[in-house]
Structure 1
Amino acid sequence: MNPSAHIAFRVAAAFVALGLGGALIAAIVGLVLTNVGPAASASLSLCAKDGVAPAGGKDYLAQNNVWNAETPQCVTVGDQSLRIESAAHDVSPQGAPAATPSLLKGCHWQDCTDVGDLPVQVSAMPRVTSDWVTSQVDTGVFNAAYVVWFHSGPVAEGTPDGAEMVIWLRSRGGVRPGGVMLAREVPISDARWNVWLARDQGRVRITYERVGETTAVRDLDISAFTGDSVGRGLVSPDWYLIAVEAGFNLWRGGAGNAIENFSVSVDDQKPRRALGTSAPTPCFAALNVEETWTGGFRAVVEVTNVGDSPVQGWILDWTFPGGQHVERTSVGQVTQSGSSVHLVGGVRDGVLEPGKSTSFDVVGSGVSPGIVSITCTPA
């Protein structure tokens, strides 16, 4: 990218770390950028696998970002817009996508935009919102999603070491978020979202899957999603939000999908709000009902190690919503008092390594409990 642009972002990041305000940061960045000419407004084509280009002005970058395939792909980049002109990908929907063409504000690995309002520290986050309008085809296998990156410092020199927060708006071809579902239909930013958790390349990945698909959002409150992740112990208040991306994960095809417009707003004029002091939690569990009959049900409890150390045993606590009772489980010891359930279990042979999951059955009496919130503590 433009070397002066990269320097400008890092100057801004340094002053964010010192706690200086947005207006002063913008002034300093303006001085750094004095000799940087305006970005061209005409559209251009990107076909290199790792091609990056300005996407109208200084605040946005476009990425071709073919990272898991050798197949060709070309995108046309305009003013805060991007169109996929060709994409010959064909990888399994059960694995990672072939490419993620996207628009970016902030810093993605070594590629940075020239803005002074990112990064922001989670513990003092202003309201961060985004508009995104897409046009999407009815062929191929893909999804449309935001990726919000968190890092332990204001700028990541390489791979971000915090968390990857995905806000999943629509998919085609049967792809689903990876990992274990933590909660169903959580209300955030005027919609409902299923919350998924996975661990990937040493990072926690939290996916908010929209209930009811859409191709456009207005004033999507990214700070509210961040607050939910902090409350779940998945994002640390000490980390920094360093980038917001919006684009398409492509497994098969993808030509014709387009970002018509994308913008991110950081409101430094309103008081910043504290987002809590939660620390990352070592394990998570989710209960999903698989089978029902008159007077009973069978559920599967999935336990995931999201910590950094192996786990052999765990303690699960939950409360049934409607008088249900555990009759038996395929693993662990259960005690129940009223609606409160306490289960002590673990891996039969060996340990549960970081990022891995295990599951067991719970047979209960009563009506189906639906989604149940579980507290998981390593034993």
Structure 2
Amino acid sequence: MTLRNRFVTLAALVSIGLGALSTPAVAATTLCHSQTASVAGGTYIVQNDEWNSSANECISTSGGADFAVVNSSMNSPTGQPPAGYPSIYKGCHWGACTPNSGFPIQVSALSAGKVTTSWSTSQPAGSNVYDVAYDVWYNQSASTSGQPNGTEVMIWLAHNGNVGPAGSKVGTVTVGGVQYDVWYARQSGWNLVSYARTNPTTSVNDIDVHDLTADSVGRGYLQNSWWLIDVEAGFELWKGGTGLATHSFSVTVN
């Protein structure tokens, strides 16, 4: 065997070895029309949650704590509730629960640093109309199989288009060094409190759920005897939304 052929043979063997060691790409899971998927080893659930529309709209997830809107024909009036809320959550959403979440937690036991959350997103502009918001749910009892009857606390990171929180603006507060406009609306059976950042962002790190919870309690919109059951993060869609993405999401219960 010539020296050149030895090198060719060695290169081929190395190539075969590397091929054997390579990991096949994980196929994405596509979810349409309110389908759900357990992700990140069961830690979270990704849900398409198209609750107010029948338009074609789908999201995909790699199976980690991520998802992206891959197509959306949604087109709902901005003066009405959103068409849907593709999102990811930890806890119990309408009785569908992630295992070993650490929830429920009674509000009176929700001390500083007990529950923290981080979230990274992509937010396309253009004619898309949406908000980028957490949905943190509190129920008057420790569990429910349907609509929670306590308080819904939304944390708006940003929005695109002519949309805003429901109800009326009731104040401005600075929590954790971030300034929020505070909005309140009484819904049919529960309170809705929205904290809209005055300085929009695409990502947040280690938001302490206790801080905004305490503010809502102080305003009389939430009771210490109620229970934190769920932390969700996603995009309320009115129009379009293709390209919106959650790159990473975490909820830590200490």
TM-score, normalised to structure 2's length? Answer: 0.86
Match of 1:108 in 2: 93
Query: In structure 2, what residue type is equivalent to 1:101?
Result: P
Alpha-carbon offset, residue 266 of structure 1: 1.3
- Paired residue secondary structure (2:68): strand
Query: How far apart in 1 are the matches of 2:48 and 2:186?
Result: 25
Return structure 1 stretches of 4+ with deviation > 4 angstroms: none
- Aligned with residue 98 of structure 1, among 70, 80, 83: 83
CA distance in 1, matches of 2:34, 2:239: 19
Contact 1:145 1:169 in 2 (8 A): yes
- Residues in 1 aligned to 2:167 and 2:44: alpha-carbon distance in whole angstroms: 31
Task: Give aligned-pair identity as a percent.
Answer: 39
Partner in structure 1 of residue 139 of structure 2: 151
Moved more, 243-252 or 127-136: 127-136
Amino acid at match of 1:92: P
> How many Å separate the matches in 1 of 2:200 and 2:151?
24
Q: Deviations over 1:312-352 (max 9, x none)?
A: xxxxxxxxxxxxxxxxxxxxxxxxxxxxxxxxxxxxxxxxx
Quote how far apart the aligned CAs of 1:228 are. 0.5
Counterpart residue type for residue 200 of structure 2 = E
Alignment-derived partner of residue 14 in structure 2: none
Q: 75, 93, 103: which is aligned to 1:118?
A: 103
Unaligned runs of 5+ in 1: 1-40, 268-379
- CA deviation digits over 1:40-82, x for unaligned, max 9? x7531111x2211112211100000111111011110120000
Partner residue in 1 for 2:60: 76
What stretches of structure 2 of length at least 5 have no aligned partner?
A: 1-25
Residue 214 (structure 2) pairs with residue 214 (structure 1): no
Cα distance in 1, alignment partners of residues 89 and 188 from structure 2: 21
Task: Quote the Cα distance in structure 1 between the aligned partners of 2:197 and 2:35.
Answer: 30
Partner secondary structure for residue 227 of structure 1: helix
TM-score when scaled to structure 1?
0.58
Q: Give the conservation status (yes or no) of the 8 Å contact 1:106–1:242.
A: yes
- Indicate the residue corresponding to 1:202 in structure 2: 189
For 2:27 and 2:88, locate their aligned partners in 1 and report how far apart those are by CA, in whole Å: 16
Task: Write the deviation string for residues 116-164 of structure 1: whole angstroms up to 9, x where unpaired.
Answer: 4111110111421111000110121000000000001221121101010
State the 1:190 CA deviation. 2.1
Superposition RMSD on alpha carbons, in Å?
1.1
* CA contact 2:132–2:157 (8 Å) conserved in 1: yes
* Cα distance, 1:113–1:42 mapped onto 2, change above 3 Å: farther
Residues 277-311 of structure 1 deviation map (CA, whole Å, 9 limit, x = unaligned): xxxxxxxxxxxxxxxxxxxxxxxxxxxxxxxxxxx
Match of 2:249 in 1: 262
In the alignment, the residues of structure 2 paired with residue 195 and residue 215 of structure 1 have an alpha-carbon distance, to the nearest angstrom, of: 20
Higher relative contact order (CA 8 A, sep 6+): 2
What secondary structure is seen at the aligned counterpart in 2 of 1:57? Answer: helix
Q: Does the aligned pair in 1 maintain the 2:90–2:101 contact within 8 Å?
A: no
Partner of 1:174: 162
After the TM superposition, which residues 18-33 of structure 1 pair with which residues of structure 2 at under 5 Å, given as runs? Answer: none
Matches of residues 327-338 of structure 1 in structure 2 within 5 Å? none
Q: What residue number does 1:53 align with?
A: 37
- Mapped to 1, the partners of 2:230 and 2:104 lie a distance apart of 7
Aligned residue pair count: 225
Question: Structure 2: how far apart are the matches of 1:42 and 1:122?
Answer: 40
* Structure-2 separation of matches of 1:174 and 1:255: 18
Equivalent residue runs for 1:174-323 within 5 Å:
174-184=162-172, 186-267=173-254
Matched AA of 1:205:
L
Amino acid at match of 1:134: T
Amino acid across the alignment from 1:217 = V
**Preserved CA contact (<8 Å) 1:58 1:115:** no
Quote the offset at 1:109 in angstroms: 0.1
